[in-house]
Structure 1
Amino acid sequence: MQTDSPTTAGVPKAVAAPGTSAATTYRPRRLRKLAWDLIPVGVFAAIVALWAGAVEAFDIPSYLLPSPQETFARMANDFPLLWENTGVTVSEIVAGLGITIVTAIPLGLMIALSRVARQVVYPPVVFMQLVPKIAIAPLFVVWIGFGIESKILLTVLMTFFPLLVASISGFRILDDRMLYLTKSMGASRWQTFRYLRFPSALPVIFSGLKTSATLAATAALVAEFVGANTGLGYLLLQGTSTLDTTLIFAVLVVLTIIGIALNYLVELVEWLLTPWQRARNN
């Protein structure tokens, strides 16, 4: 006579409660994950609520601290102006960050794999990093002019080093024993790079890319402070010169949205390119 057992061949079976199904079992887990993902939204909502409550409770005049309602109303009224200047600033950020990506990552690979490059190329790069970029920003205006090129150049210089260091660390993170193993199995250098070295370096590279993306917005803004007649930095200078605090806060909100969008865009690309990270997080 065969009897039911909670295990079969040493493998335990999942015993569900009467009247439940697999979908019902995993539903609380999905709800918990959704609630966890919504925490950042709740934090931002709490910040806006605290901002509005402080203005109301302490009766702060709008020329010192406008309320969220005034700020969002100004954003709606000046939407064409903000949209036009946002496009200029975003184009500077995207162009500068794109140049950084296509130059810093290959250079990081070369420095990581070549002792000659570490001795010849890396020291000048470190020296350039020690030079204060904001201090030499006016020189870019003198050399290149007030066009978008000077803003892109400053953005590249401020975002290059973090991504370069992350790329070097990522490409050198692989254990030498793994390289010996792939070589003993007959893998070519390209196969080792494609299936082992590059995937192992991606998480570290994306960490540096997130830092560079944050610096890109700051660099573009600083470059517009130095010399520009368009862009969000130019609008900030206009608002400061006329004591238009509401315009200043409207621009700051737009800049915050740009920074958040850049960060989530980098995270999305990382999510797409590192499926093994998704499996580990789940």
Structure 2
Amino acid sequence: MHDAPVSTRSRLLPLVAWPLLGLVFAIGVWWAATKVFAVNPVVLPAPSDVADGFGRFAGTLATETWHTAMATLLGFVLSVAAGVLLGIAIAAWRPFERMFAPLLVAFNAVPKVALAPLMLIWFGYGRIPVLAMAFMVCFFPIVLSTATGLTSTPAELAEMVRAMSATWSQTFWRVRLPSALPQIFVGLKVGLPLAVIGVVVGEMQYGESGLGMIIVQTSGQGDTPTSFAAIVLLAVLSIVLYYLLSLIERLTLPWVRATTSVR
């Protein structure tokens, strides 16, 4: 009767223990490097200095983390909406793909940082250029994963719906989209961390709030510990958002784990 809870605990323990062990090891190496080589705190602060930076600016860091998180989510949602629609259009109509796929590849190849001065001219300072940077960075993987998933419907399913004389909408909603969802989530999980990067780059360039702005301000003042504290918060934010998306994937697609070898 007690096998299921014990089995669950035995699976969860490594999932928690190994990441914690890796974190402890990384912090230990970081601390040892600062002590053994007597590194100047302005160059590389010790973990204790970073903790002090957290303590001194806890309220400010919490507020700016919230601003960065909201900008990341909004930019990501906008890119998902546009990217999925464009991916559907590419998968549904071959001439559309031939017309716009080269332009998408060219746009993705342009370093987004190179557009930063132009975006400042177009949008000025504030939230809009930050969201635009996040959108541009994570847009292409979502388009690509959506189009790839929708054009990779298993042959046996395609034959079955054709034999049943299903309409295009019936085929799309009941066969093509469900079979494409695992691939679409791959693009979402690639795009979400990129959205964080895009937001931070935007905040550094022309933001009026957020952790990127904090990093620029504190590093310019020589307050490296607080800059590192903001970087740590960015890492934590990325991890939390990524695993929340993974949880949504598990809840949305329970049949994937049941029909594959994924554990």
Q: Same-fold call, TM > 0.5?
A: yes
Determine which of 119, 124, 127 is the counterpart of 2:98.
Answer: 119
Contact 2:130 2:203 in 1 (8 A): yes
2:15 pairs with 1:37: yes
- The count of aligned residue pairs is 260
Point out the more displaced range, 92-101 or 68-77.
68-77
Of the three residues 190, 193, 208, the one matched with 1:229 is 208
**1:154 Cα deviation after fit:** 1.2
Contact 2:89/2:96 (<8 A) preserved = yes
Could you list the per-position Cα deviations for residues 101-122 of structure 1 after superposition, in whole angstroms to 9, with x for gaps in the alignment?
0110121011012112112222
Superimposed CA distance per residue, residues 193-220 of structure 1 (whole angstroms, 9 cap, x where no aligned partner): 2232112111111111111111111111
Larger Cα-atom Rg: 1
Q: Deviations over 1:147-200 (max 9, x none)?
A: 100111111111111111111111111133421212213433333222321121
Structure 1 match to 2:256: 277
Deviation at 1:28, TM superposition (A): 5.6
2:87–2:147: 8 Å Cα contact kept in structure 1? yes
1:13 maps to which residue? none
Per-residue CA deviation, residues 78-113 of structure 1 (Å, 9 max, x unaligned), is 111112222222222111111100110121011012
Higher relative contact order (CA 8 A, sep 6+): 2
| Unaligned segments of structure 2, at least 5 residues | none
Percent identity, aligned pairs only, is: 28
- Asked whether 1:70 is paired with 2:49, we answer yes
The equivalent residue for 1:169 is: 148
Bigger helix share: 2
Could you tell me how far 1:130 is from its partner in structure 2?
Answer: 2.2
Gaps of 5+ in 1: 1-21
Q: Which runs of 4+ in 1 moved over 6 A?
A: none
Task: State the distance in 1 between where 2:256 and 2:19 align.
Answer: 21
Q: CA RMSD in A?
A: 1.9
What pairs with 1:183-198 in structure 2 (closer than 5 Å)?
A: 183-198=162-177
User: Matches of residues 7-156 of structure 1 in structure 2 within 5 Å?
Assistant: 23-24=2-3, 26=4, 29-38=7-16, 39-156=18-135
